[in-house]
Amino acid sequence: MEIIKRDHAIYSSDGSVKVLIDSEGLPELECLIPAPFMDEVGRDKMVAKAVDSFYLSGYFLVEQKRIRNLAFDKGKEKTTTRLRYRVCKNEDEALLVGSKIKAILEAMKKEKSDGKVTE
């Protein structure tokens, strides 16, 4: 059986996923994704890829929020996305992340079998 370990997730070739738990949930990290010159669809795709990447690494997404980028935004525009994520604190969070991982992997398999190229 082949086992692949990413930051806080362990994948087995039998399709099982184990998400590691730290009761402190530390460290809590933040990621900023500025996208001032993209349209809304492109911005959403970029954020979705980042969120999937965090889930695939076994992290729990605490917050996803659009914020104002003072360097580029005019008026009330909000073109930057802030993601806050951390290690899972309990089994419920680990189960949620595990289910997200399985859904992402299934979608990737489906795209591959349909012959679609992912961006």
> What tens digit of pLDDT does each residue of 81-112 get?
999 999 999 999 999 999 999 999 899 888 88
Average pLDDT, integer, range 34-58: 92
CA atoms of 117 and 104, how far apart (whole Å):
15
Of the two residues 20 and 77, the one the predictor is more confident about is 77
Chain centroid to CA 119: how far?
15
Residues in the chain: 119
Q: Residue 113 domain-assigned?
A: no
Report the candidate in 42, 43, 47, 19 with the shortest Cα–Cα distance to residue 31: 47
pLDDT score, position 2: 64
How many distinct structural domains can be found in the chain? 1
pTM of the model: 0.81
pLDDT score, position 71: 86
Q: Is the pLDDT of residue 119 over 60?
A: no
DSSP H helices, 19-84, are 40-56
- 23-34 in b/e form (b: 16+ CB < 10 A) is eeeeeeeebebb
**pLDDT level of residue 26 (50, 70, 90 thresholds):** confident
For residue 15, CA distances in Å to 12, 49, 75 come to 6, 22, 48
Range of the domain at 91: 3-108
Q: Residue 114 domain-assigned?
A: no
Q: Residue 86 domain-assigned?
A: yes
Q: Residue 118 domain-assigned?
A: no
CA atoms of 58 and 94, how far apart (whole Å):
8
Q: Residue 117 domain-assigned?
A: no
